[in-house]
Structure 1
Amino acid sequence: MSNIDKQAVTAKTKELASFMVERFSMNPVSCKLLNEAWEKEFPDEVAIAERMLALLDELEHYKSREERVTKLVLDNSTSWDALYKKLEAAEKRIAEQREYYEGVIADGSKRIAELEHSETQLINERDSAESALADMYQAATGERPEWSNMFGFADAVDVVEERLATLEANQSQTTPTGIQLITEAIGAHGYIVGCLLQGRPDLALEESRKWVSAFGQAAEIVSAQDADDIKVKGE
């Protein structure tokens, strides 16, 4: 901008300032007349002034809006901080619960495995007891037992005990060897039954297999004696 332009703007500014002073010092009627004269005399300046006022109003509006947005951002920031802390606390609780339930599941799996092992062990023990008792029954009667709802372990034990009682009753008519076999068979029976009652079918099975032959020999002795008795009575 040249010096001439600057001087012209300065002169125009002073002139505008003078008119503004007069405008605010006059009554309403004078102000109206002055405004009309101003608009006629300085249309460009009036347009610029109106534009400046509009810009100031718009600036004030955006400033107020900026303040509201800033406040909203700050409020949201505080809210997000609180939400983030709640989220962290929730994640921590979830992790703790997951760890707890994983431990419960692990303990449960271990317990299930133990129960399955115990069940398998019980089945094996039952099979061993059944085998031992079947061996005793066969040694005493010469036949394998036929297990059913009507004939169980207790029934087989009763049959074996009756057979041993018969052997014991006939000891007076038996040779010394036969008496020894019968005595050993009776002792084996008592030991085997005791093992079964104490939950040791493994020992019962081992003992029954050991004395199966003794039971068989004792049964043969009784059978031979029965045959001799029948023969004597027939004569």
Structure 2
Amino acid sequence: MNKPLILVVEDDKAIRKLITTTLETQQYLYHTAETGGASILEAVSKQPDIIILDLGLPDMDGVDIIKKIRAWSNTPILVVSARSEVRDKIDALDAGADDYLTKPFSVEELLARLRVSLRRVRYDSDKLLKDASVFTNENLKIDYAAGCVWLDDEEVHLTPIEYKLLCLLAKNVGKVLTHNYILHEIWGNYTSDVPALRVFMATLRKKIEHTPAQPKYIQTHIGVGYRMLQVDDDRKSL
């Protein structure tokens, strides 16, 4: 499995440095953002495994950021904030945060909370696994046990969302999956929009299709959803 990627959203330079140094000691990969606007852009473009979020940002309240991210992603969000009132914690958790850590905090507790979030990420991925350990479709192969994907015997590096999408399609090969079904299976009960799904599907296609404009594996049913085609070596797929 690839090393987990963590997005640190914190405008206080000293605290941001403390968090990133802690992540470095554990060999976590990370990106940083100092504003709400930047955090949303980073969440969309980098697709982190976990988000560490401060609520008191200069341009946007952290609770609003949580709501915006939850509109299209169920990435675990760990709030790290100086707000210690119970109402603040409830508001953040109700908005979709997974955990809440009050400043000042210990490094050991931060790492413990991260481990809990990572176990959730792994559990969510495991729920998509089929009974078979390996799925093969012509030159495309998914090793569910290892969480790896190969195309033409070369490993393809996918983000967690791309991997979930590919596994879901593979588990239902030959079946048309509606937009709503895919959104529910990948993002859970959170309301997600079709344009966001199209973006993720486009990035997945770029990685597994030799010609994304003429896809061989993932077929679009306009206005309905997507289907993974069963590709045979000796005949064209339907």
TM-score tier, shorter chain, comes to under 0.3
Greater share of residues in helix: 1
Instruction: Return the structure number with greater relative CO, CA threshold 8 A, min gap 6.
Output: 1
TM-score, normalization by structure 1: 0.23
- Choose between structure 1 and 2: higher strand proportion: 2
Task: Give the structure-2-normalised TM-score.
Answer: 0.23
Larger Rg computed on CA atoms: 1
